[in-house]
Structure 1
Amino acid sequence: MRRELTLVVGALLGALTAGLLAGAPSTAAPAAFTHPGVLVGTAQLDLTRSKVNSGAQPWKSAFDTMMASTYASLSRTPKPRAIVECGSYSDPNHGCTDEREDALAAYTFSLAWYITRDSKYADKAIQIMDAWSGTIKDHTNGNAPLQTGWAGSTWPRAAEIIRYTYNGWPKGRIDRFAGMLRTVYLPKVINGSHSNGNWELSMMEAAVGISVFIEDKASYDKAIATFRARVPAYIYLKSDGGLPKTAPGSGLNTRDKIIKYWQGQSTFVDGLTQETCRDFTHTGYGLSAISHIAETGRLQGQDLYPEVADRLRHALGFQATYELGTAPPSWLCGGSVKRGLGPVTEVGYNALHNRMHYAMANTQKLTERQRPAGSNNLFVGWETLTHAENPS
């Protein structure tokens, strides 16, 4: 009996230790989900609406920029496909761009509806979402997980706003849209990826947003656990030691493998990311997804920012320094970096500087220089409008 008890206790301790190493709490999902609650919430949207309607800057210019974009054109015709096929670097591109841009358009129209209260924008968002939910069956080819992550990050933002602030979306169509997210998108992203870090982070952003919309606590918990394990493996801090941390199951078990995965970079400093020496564009995808997940978690009553704050603020500041034009030293990426971070700093900067009061001089300079932030045409859109100086 004593031996059996010892084995049971040992197994329980082992499971607990494994969970702690993975950074996963026993439960992360709220007792009840908050809606709308994917990237933007009611208080945030209300502040944005009041700023735009009073003509305050930078919100009014950000709104005008959004409304002048192709994503806000009421003549847009959605282009759904049953099978979206996306190869590496979108070659082949069979519906990849169409899907991402239609999702961004639906989100754009949902924001336009909330700010103007003009039903034509809500109806247009519904038209786009209905077109895709009635058509798509699968994503295929090498970039299928990433494509699913990008589009799957944007759809729930639009759907949350329309479902919970507008009465014109029939329940049957809402259920069909939820079914699309549950059966076509979630299975492709929920198990993550051991590719470059921006893949898994984007996939987890989609999984978290989808889980909120369909109110799936188990998938929410799983996605947050993966996120918590991946962030330390994506952004280096000197407290990590001589080498960056690795994601569970990555197989990166030697110094040579880790350095190769970090694009050949062998000198590690605060804020360096796994893709800094690849290019800043892909780095921006990863940092954006981290900010978005933390923001959604905050809206759901789980503040993840204190947990990721040091990594995220150092990463934003490090990349911003060189994005602003500082020449890289010889030890960094062989003395040459590929700039192009994109409009991805507003969410993290607002949370870390305006809410948590970290000094972030370079990130602030870059953020203000890029205002009003537009879209990266993948899964980022209009974040000066929704997050600039927004304490809500």
Structure 2
Amino acid sequence: MKNFPNYSPRPQKIIYRGIGFPQNYITLCQDIAAAYCAAINWKITGNTSYADKSVEIMNAWSSTLTSIQGNNDIALAGGIYGCHFANVGEIMRSYKGNQPTRGSKRFYYSNWDLAQIGMAIAVGVLTDNREMFNEAIRVYKSDWYWGASSQFIYYLHPGYFGQTQEAGRDQGHNTLSVGLGGILCEMAWNQDVDLYGWDNNRFLAGAEYTAKVNYNFNGSGFADVPYITYANYYGNDVVQTMLGPGKGNNRPIWSLIYNHYENRMGISAPWSKKYAIAMRPEIGSGNINGGNGGSYDFLGFGTLLYQQDTISESCYPEGLTARVNGIKVDLNWWGPVYAINYSIQRSTTINGRFKTIKKKIGTQILTYTDSPGKGTFYYRVLTNGSTCAASNIAKAFIGTKLYFSLSFKNESNGSLPIDLSENKFSIKLFNGASVGVGIKGKQTALSLNGNMQYAELENNLLSELSDYSIATWLFCNGKLPKNARLFDFGAGPGRYIAFSMQISNGNWHFKSTVGGEFAETGIQGHGSLDCVNKWIHLAVTQLGENVTLYLNGTVAGQTNNLMSPFRIGNTTNNWLGRSQFYIRPYDRPYFRGLIDGFKIYEGALNQKQINELM
């Protein structure tokens, strides 16, 4: 810092990043780090010479840089460094000497998308561009790109350990993704948008998993963590069956995460805390990895910037969920920072007497599995016996009951679709979809002509279901178009659960995925569905890990390799007759025919119950 008055920026007209190009991006990294350090020093000391130097560096680059070029890594250069530079600009916003030299006219892995999302948030804040900011928030919350929350934190293991999208690639990129996620969550938090807590603290689940994978200080050794196979259909069709190499990748990212969850919110984040303490004080950029480009991925100084006083009181668990898994109920929750142990309570009515069913559960992995038998049950969790307030109440139902039932109601302006279940989910028809003659000769079926007609069911229709059943009659008019889907519940081409009467190889296929088309798992038949110009009954059930598909009441296929609907996440495209691949209508045609008696059940129907529907 003593040499700052003599520091000279080195702006470039074109920045290159990527093998095969004259890479010079390190000059941008170093100048951003210098501008950041100068900005922090000005904020702490009030010495305007630091502020002037930060402004000088920003102006040098804004008046010189015209392009970022290279291979696919330009997404990182533009995203990471653009985000960091925008944050420097935001720090310097209040400095009166901050005058720009000229006007402000200016896919594959999760870290790439997270870099772009972070840059959009940072630039949106700096330029007061609400539209840009809101779009970045939307993408993180609900999109199917790999930087979105539900893709970036790919799978929740027991105890809310969130397997990240890059955990099977290598730990350098894995920790990069978590660090970028922390930065964008903090920027959003400062604008009163809580991405940290989005989707039941999903980011914390990914951070804790990654911290546990990489922590190895004072001879502790690496902890064991669960891992499921990850696959996606982008790039080179990635399939990863185990944790990637490079454990022990120590980036200066943990102080931010630990201080938000434990000291702001009072939520226990034990592995992030361990990492933050072990790395105190977090160093600045350029001081790790030999000063290469990766050492500038994060500007550092987290201990200085984010350390907060420990929270004075934190007593109750939160985020309790109860997922049915066959005849069992899996409970998971977030704990408060001062918890010593936990007790589980259960009731048969939400306002009834809760009975303690398990005491003194430890704090290492916050999960418990109950076997209560059939019925409706309500659960809550307490800390340290019953001295603190209880958690939220989570409901579980073991058995079978109607969840959704498509029917039609005659009105003065025609027949309108309705849900006959107690849930009364919304149904909308598009492009002339209408009521047709069903299997019993009455006006009970949904009629679709294959020309962009479809029905849209309510958002997040299946997002709370684990064990379930889907049953329906269908009648296909004429020759089967390949890749048309009877139903498709998802959030774009990356996440869905769907059934096709005939895919490209000529077979029918029931499938689900959270990694796109290449990562589909499911049940595939031998030949197309025998539904052309005739009625056929289709049913699918899931009980625990066991999925069974029935045709006309007979078992036609089974698997134990399908994700439960709740793991598909929030779904905005819940369609009958339309595919998630709507962006390519020429090879993803619409369903042409009739759908009658379409029902969804909570719980898995047995074969006898399915035959009773026929």
- What's the TM-score, normalizing by structure 2? 0.42
> CA 1:109/1:209 → structure 2, altered by over 3 Å: closer, same or farther?
same
Deviations for 1:289-340, whole angstroms, at most 9, x for unmatched residues? 2111121112112222221553222222222223223446597464764121
Secondary structure at 1:226 match in 2: helix
Match of 1:344 in 2: 253
Match of 2:274 in 1: 365
> CA 1:112/1:330 → structure 2, altered by over 3 Å: closer, same or farther?
closer
Q: How does 1:244-283 map to 2 (within 5 A)?
A: 270-283=161-174
Amino acid at match of 2:58: M
Secondary structure at 1:109 match in 2: helix
Match of 1:380 in 2: 299
Q: How does 1:77-96 map to 2 (within 5 A)?
A: 77-88=8-19, 92-96=21-25
Match of 2:568 in 1: none
Match of 1:224 in 2: 137
Secondary structure at 2:15 match in 1: strand
Deviations for 1:31-54, whole angstroms, at most 9, x for unmatched residues? xxxxxxxxxxxxxxxxxxxxxxxx
> Contact conserved, 2:213 with 2:225, CA < 8 A, in 1?
no
Q: How does 1:107-256 map to 2 (within 5 A)?
A: 107-142=36-71, 143-164=73-94, 166-170=95-99, 172-173=100-101, 176=103, 178-179=104-105, 183=106, 194-229=107-142, 230-238=148-156
> Contact conserved, 1:100 with 1:379, CA < 8 A, in 2?
no
Matched, 1:318 2:236: no
How far, CA to CA, are the matches of 1:356 and 1:93 in structure 2? 46
Identity between Structure 1 and Structure 2 (%): 24
> Contact conserved, 2:155 with 2:162, CA < 8 A, in 1?
yes
> CA 1:97/1:221 → structure 2, altered by over 3 Å: closer, same or farther?
same
- What's the TM-score, normalizing by structure 1? 0.65
> CA 1:115/1:331 → structure 2, altered by over 3 Å: closer, same or farther?
closer
Give the RMSD, CA atoms, in angstroms: 2.7
How far, CA to CA, are the matches of 2:222 and 2:14 in structure 1? 44
How far, CA to CA, are the matches of 1:144 and 1:330 in structure 2? 33
> CA 1:308/1:155 → structure 2, altered by over 3 Å: closer, same or farther?
farther
Identify which of 26, 30, 43 aligns with 1:97: 26
> CA 1:205/1:308 → structure 2, altered by over 3 Å: closer, same or farther?
farther
How far, CA to CA, are the matches of 1:378 and 1:202 in structure 2? 10
> CA 1:382/1:329 → structure 2, altered by over 3 Å: closer, same or farther?
closer
Secondary structure at 1:195 match in 2: coil
1:169 CA drift (Å): 2.1
How far, CA to CA, are the matches of 1:222 and 1:302 in structure 2? 13
1:139 CA drift (Å): 0.4
How far, CA to CA, are the matches of 1:390 and 1:202 in structure 2? 30
> CA 1:308/1:348 → structure 2, altered by over 3 Å: closer, same or farther?
farther
Secondary structure at 1:271 match in 2: strand
Amino acid at match of 2:138: A
| Bigger strand fraction | 2
Matched, 1:356 2:265: yes
Deviations for 1:79-115, whole angstroms, at most 9, x for unmatched residues? 1111111114xx5353211112211211111010010
How far, CA to CA, are the matches of 2:23 and 2:243 in structure 1? 38
- Which ranges in structure 1 are unaligned for 5 or more consecutive residues? 1-66, 184-193, 241-267
- Number of positions where the alignment pairs a residue of Structure 1 with one of Structure 2: 277
Larger radius of gyration: 2
How far, CA to CA, are the matches of 2:222 and 2:191 in structure 1? 41
> Contact conserved, 1:104 with 1:381, CA < 8 A, in 2?
no
Amino acid at match of 1:338: G
Match of 2:526 in 1: none
> Contact conserved, 1:237 with 1:269, CA < 8 A, in 2?
no
Which moves more between the two structures, 129-138 or 369-378? 369-378
Match of 1:45 in 2: none
Amino acid at match of 2:161: D
> Contact conserved, 2:167 with 2:244, CA < 8 A, in 1?
no
Deviations for 1:41-74, whole angstroms, at most 9, x for unmatched residues? xxxxxxxxxxxxxxxxxxxxxxxxxx58xxx744
Amino acid at match of 1:346: S
How far, CA to CA, are the matches of 1:195 and 1:97 in structure 2? 23
> Contact conserved, 2:30 with 2:296, CA < 8 A, in 1?
yes
> Contact conserved, 1:197 with 1:275, CA < 8 A, in 2?
yes
> Contact conserved, 1:109 with 1:121, CA < 8 A, in 2?
yes
How far, CA to CA, are the matches of 2:150 and 2:278 in structure 1? 29
> Contact conserved, 2:169 with 2:243, CA < 8 A, in 1?
no
> Contact conserved, 1:80 with 1:99, CA < 8 A, in 2?
yes
1:211 CA drift (Å): 0.8
Amino acid at match of 2:265: M
The structure showing larger relative contact order (alpha-carbon pairs under 8 Å, at least 6 residues apart) is 1
| Bigger helix fraction | 1
Which moves more between the two structures, 196-205 or 279-288? 279-288
Amino acid at match of 2:51: A
